[in-house]
Amino acid sequence: MLTETVRDLTREEYELFREMIYAKSGINLGQEKMQLVRARLGKRLRSGEFRSYRAYYEFVQNDSTGRELCHLIDAISTNTTHLFREVQHFEFLADVLKRGTSDRRWHPTRSEVTIWSAGCSSGEEPHSLAMTVHDALQPHPGISWRMLATDISTRMLDRARQGIYELHRLGTVPERFQRRYFRRVQHNRAACAQVTPELQRHITFARFNLMESRFPFTRGFDFIFCRNVMIYFDRQTQEALVHKFAEHLRPAGYLLIGHSESLNAIEHSLTYVRPTIYQRPGNG
């Protein structure tokens, strides 16, 4: 409930936020998300003592540091995730890395494997990937690996960097990985587990907005995981993004998207491998 001092969100104000959020993050709220914006920004308005949504909108617009825009996108974005979400993707990754049998062009004869978790939320995806890669490359000590994990939300990235999960959230992690890659810690008085430094040292967490016109990565990736992120973007935005992902994959590298997503409606240069998995043509 908003306090009496905050004026309710009008349709016109909603449209202003909607346009701003779309322009800055690609998140396409549609016409029907007024209640979501009202509720999620309402908290911010009350804590900042803004009298109206319009006053808050103007504050965000005039904040040249961009910090408040960051808070606004944080409040709006949906960060749902869990460890080993959509487990087939991890099995696929392990399979490609271990045996190269699913694609003879991509065999781990290269000396370094690079992975990008784009839209990593609170860290569950990159940490699950890291366990999978570490385990799969165990018999190949000559192959190093590193991972970039990015998100637009600084709040989520702070959590991701800690790599601390409440014990009950480890239920989807294979048991041998639980034993191998976590150590027990107390966090906020709760029994938790933290990802070992052995894994963490391979991962670089960074804030990156997928709407940036230029991607500043000089070297290509073998795997890009962008799962359950594009679902919030419209077709045009998805198409532009997939085009950039394709440019940043090494030849024969893979793009993996969420299970409720598909590239069917957009034009792209990638080869379909199986549902939600695409590959850049060429030899690795």
Window 27-66: residues binding ligand SAM (CB under 6 A) = 27
Give me 145's structure tokens.
């690996």
Window 14-33: residues binding ligand SAM (CB under 6 A) = 25-27
Give me 68's structure tokens.
């408040």
Is 40 assigned a catalytic role? Answer: yes
Minimum Å distance from CB 249 to ligand SAM?
Answer: 17
Is 180 assigned a catalytic role? Answer: no
| Catalytic pick among 7, 38, 40, 44 | 40
Q: Which whole-number Å values give the CA distances from 59 to 52, 56, 119, 282, in the listed order?
A: 11, 5, 27, 49
Nearer to ligand SAM, 112 or 234 (CB): 234
Nearer to ligand SAM, 74 or 103 (CB): 74
Window 247-276: residues binding ligand SAM (CB under 6 A) = 258
Nearest to 192 by CA among 212, 210, 211, 169: 169
Q: Which whole-number Å values give the CA distances from 276 to 86, 106, 127, 130, in the listed order?
A: 11, 18, 20, 20
- Binding-residue pattern over the window 149 to 188 for ligand SAM, x denoting contact by CB under 6 A: --xxx--x--------------------------------
125 binds ligand SAM (CB under 6 A): yes
Minimum Å distance from CB 253 to ligand SAM?
Answer: 18
| Contacts made by residues 39-42, CB under 8 angstroms, sequence distance 24+ | 40/75, 40/76, 41/9, 41/17, 41/72, 41/75, 41/76, 42/2, 42/6, 42/9
229 binds ligand SAM (CB under 6 A): yes
126 binds ligand SAM (CB under 6 A): no
Contacts with ligand SAM, residue ranges (CB under 6 A): 25-27, 77-81, 85, 119, 121, 125, 151-153, 156, 209-211, 227-229, 258
